[in-house]
Amino acid sequence: MRLKTISLALCGFLLFSLATSGSLSAVTETDVPGEDLSDVPRYPDTVRTWYHTYDDYTSISYRGAVDVTAVKDFYKTEMPKHGWTLTYEYSYGNYVSLSFGKKGFSADISIYPYYEGVTSVYVYYRIQRPQQISIPENVPLGLLLEFKSTGRCRVKADYSGPNPFLLYYRVGVTPPPVPVRSTGFTAGSVLPEFGSTLTSTAKPVSWDINIELSSPSEGTLNITANGWVVLPLTAEQKQMVSLAVAGYKFAPEMFNQRALQEIQLQLRRQLRYTADLEVTALNTTKLDWDDAASKLTFGVTLTAKSSEFGAELRRELPMSISTSGAGSIPIPMKRPEDLEGLKLDILYKVVAKRVVAELQMKLVGFTSTIGFDFEFELPADEKGVVTRTENMVVLDFGKMKEYWPPYTAVPEVQAHENVRFVLRVPSGAEAENLPLGYTQTNTTYTWVGSSAANAILALVSGEAGTRISYYVGPATATITNIEGSVGKTIEIENGYIRSVEIKSERMFVANLEKDQPLRRLEVRLAEPVDIEVRVQRLPEKPAEVVEPPAERGIVHQYLEVETTAPGQVESADLEFLVPQLWIRANNIDVSTVRLLRYQAGGWAELETTKIGEDENNVYFSAKTTGFSIFAVTAQAQLPTVPAPPPLPLWVIAVLTVVLVVAILGVVWRYLSR
């Protein structure tokens, strides 16, 4: 959550830098119209510079030639006298954030240097009204929640309904003008101004952007972005960008230095209480402008430091993010009616060590279709929703209540004819307190209509108290008396191997459960012996194993196959699967998929053949002369160069926006000065 906060904050300040000028106004001498809060005192010798109230919140800013520490001590002393309890305190350098609460109300107070000798105090006061978790009525929504026996989880959603930007206009038109404690960015206060700087007609946009994240050391994040965007600029704006690009080509070092200084300055101004984020290096490696096509091609590397870039992030790195799309945007978009000219087709993909995600969006005016496919390693969490031991996963959805305020309500809904919810669990799993209204087929539970909507709400809110537990150890089968079992099929009740077919005295076939990384093993023995076979997916490469050859591309997963009689295994055929999601997200050339075996300190490539595919997976077979550790590898297809058409900057999610807007924001400021 903290990492997400930093990303959103960085995105916010970059957008803010593009939308506003860098000048600082002088301290006003008289209060702006408004009134102070009766139970939140004003620090002496400050002037009210901002006042806004709407529905359940009030925001007020004060400014004066006062000391940050003195202001902090004042509020920590005075607020309890008015019935407030300090619930959160954060300081970084001269930036201070304090949060207070009392029954039915909350108050966030931010204290930070405005400029030399002048301090700003921002108060965000809110009435805590009961909140509801709900699903809009009659929205076509399909949701699949699948827990796999390998310890991974898949979430797949399909949505068709109102354009999500309508929600932005409903809740973001009159937002607080300054971010509260942990957001660092308020979309509604920035986007209209950003939009108004561009042309007011619908113009085509398109983009193709690739981002790589790495972490060379603890607390450091390297971001590399390459791509192009086609922007809907006016003739004057095109000229400004063209001049900026010329300036970069003439003096790239100076350009990069100014860009870094601008980012550092904006971080100090805008990230007043959002962790210790610092950008230490920025290098624009490429910047070209095609005026006729309105196309900007760029390459950027950026290094950021923060205590938030810790072990949790490093476990996922390296990470790749790519996005592409095309369409047209009507700008400015200050009213819902302005959406009529919107048309965008967006593809967004993320691949990390333990996470693969794909998001497809088609936005046409007021309507949209969204497809989301997300698979990840199921980790334990601090709230206890997921707990893991070596061979057991427990999901306690009742603990989801810990993630919601105590005053959150979950209404019973009736008008959801088009909602469908599917829950799949591994064989042998125990599922307790499932929401009512489902039909069951083996280990698949299905809810339809209002029952589906209520089931989703009951799960995410924790109201149902659903609990799912299942075994995640290796798939295991033991074959005894093989000579006396020829022609028989042995059913396995547990262990994720469904059955073993005894083909002859020296050959057997093990059929695994569908979620296992291997589907089938055909094993040929030198002698008819009793033998146990164990198959498991390894979450990462064992430390003692060297990396597979770089020319084999990227690794999908590592597997381990063990037996109690390795010397008796003459050969084996292994059938394995690769998810379509992973193939699409990595732009994989299916013909390059290979199974490698680790032996004698190196990797040997096995003869690998594609044997089929379906909507979810592509299936392969490989031959081996023994068992050990295996790696499934593949190579990405060569990138295709689409025709000029990239992007409304604010549409692309967090990190994409950060880098693209960084470039454009710096260009804008470079020219304006």
Average pLDDT of the segment spanning 171-179: 33
Quick check: 447 and 459 in contact, CB under 8 A? no
Q: Report helix, strand and coil shares of the chain as percent, to nearest 5.
A: 25, 45, 35
Quick check: 558 and 629 in contact, CB under 8 A? yes
Least-confidence region, from 43-52, 187-196, 325-334: 187-196
Quick check: 579 and 615 in contact, CB under 8 A? no
Q: pLDDT band for 650, please (50, 70, 90 cuts).
A: very low
Q: pLDDT band for 332, please (50, 70, 90 cuts).
A: low
pLDDT digits (tens, 9 = 90+) for 145-162: 999 888 888 999 998 887
Q: What is the pLDDT of residue 392?
A: 85
Query: 529-555: string of b/e by CB count within 10 Å (b at 16+)?
Result: bebebbbbbeeebeeebeebeeebbbb
Q: What is the pLDDT of residue 494?
A: 60
Query: 126-145: string of b/e by CB count within 10 Å (b at 16+)?
Result: beeeeeeeebeeeeebbbbb
User: Is 26 strand, coil or helix?
Assistant: coil
Neighbours of 200 (CB within 10 A): 14
**Which of 205 and 167 is assigned the larger pLDDT?**
205
**Which of 389 and 308 is assigned the larger pLDDT?**
389
* 141-147 and 419-424 strand pairing: parallel
Residue 2 has pLDDT above 50, yes or no: no
Burial of 485 by CB count in 10 Å (0-12 exposed, 13-18 middle, 19+ buried)?
A: middle
pLDDT digits (tens, 9 = 90+) for 589-620: 899 999 999 988 899 999 999 999 888 889 99
Side-chain-facing half-sphere of 210: CA atoms under 13 Å: 9
Mean pLDDT of the chain: 78
Distances (CA, A) of 435 to 135, 398, 451, 644: 16, 12, 8, 50
**In the block, residue with structure tokens 């013909």:** 591
Quick check: 143 and 422 in contact, CB under 8 A? yes
Peptide bond into 332 cis (omega under 30): yes
Tell me which H or E stretch contains 54: strand 47-54
Q: pLDDT band for 432, please (50, 70, 90 cuts).
A: very high
Least-confidence region, from 334-338, 436-440, 574-578: 334-338
Which residues contact residue 472 at a Cβ distance below 8 angstroms, ignoring those fewer than 6 apart? 149, 150, 151, 388, 391, 392, 393
Q: pLDDT band for 53, please (50, 70, 90 cuts).
A: confident
User: Is 648 strand, coil or helix?
Assistant: coil
Q: What's the start-to-end Cα distance of the chain, in Å?
A: 37
Residue 172 has pLDDT above 80, yes or no: no
Q: What is the pLDDT of residue 136?
A: 65
Q: What is the pLDDT of residue 619?
A: 93
Q: What are phi and psi of 385, to 5 degrees?
A: -65, -45
pTM above 0.75, yes or no: no
Q: pLDDT band for 171, please (50, 70, 90 cuts).
A: very low
Instruction: Give the pair of three-digit tokens for residue 374.
Output: 């997300």
Tell me which H or E stretch contains 522: strand 518-525
**Which of 656 and 223 is assigned the larger pLDDT?**
223
The residues with which 206 forms a beta bridge, in sequence order, are 230, 326
Least-confidence region, from 92-96, 425-429, 468-472: 92-96
Sequential DSSP letters for 361-420 = EEEETTEEEEEEEEEEE----TTSSEEE-SSEEEEEGGGGGGGS-TTEE-------TTEE
Q: What is the pLDDT of residue 307?
A: 76
Residue 632 has pLDDT above 90, yes or no: yes
Burial of 21 by CB count in 10 Å (0-12 exposed, 13-18 middle, 19+ buried)?
A: exposed
Q: pLDDT band for 638, please (50, 70, 90 cuts).
A: low
pLDDT digits (tens, 9 = 90+) for 459-518: 888 888 999 998 887 888 888 888 888 888 888 766 678 888 888 888 998 888 777 878
Sequential DSSP letters for 76-141 = HHHGGGGT-EEEEEEEETTEEEEEEEETTEEEEEEEEEEETTEEEEEEEEEE---EE----TT--E
pLDDT digits (tens, 9 = 90+) for 413-424: 666 788 899 999
Q: Rounded distance, CA 85 to CA 104, Å?
A: 12
Tell me which H or E stretch contains 613: strand 608-613
**Which of 70 and 330 is assigned the larger pLDDT?**
70
Domains of the chain: 2-132 (3.30.310), 200-377+648-672 (no CATH), 392-471 (no CATH), 475-636 (2.60.220)
Secondary structure (H, E, C), 435-481: CCCCEEECCEEEEECHHHHHHHHHHHHCCCCCEEEEECCCEEEEECC
Neighbours of 563 (CB within 10 A): 20
Q: pLDDT band for 6, please (50, 70, 90 cuts).
A: very low
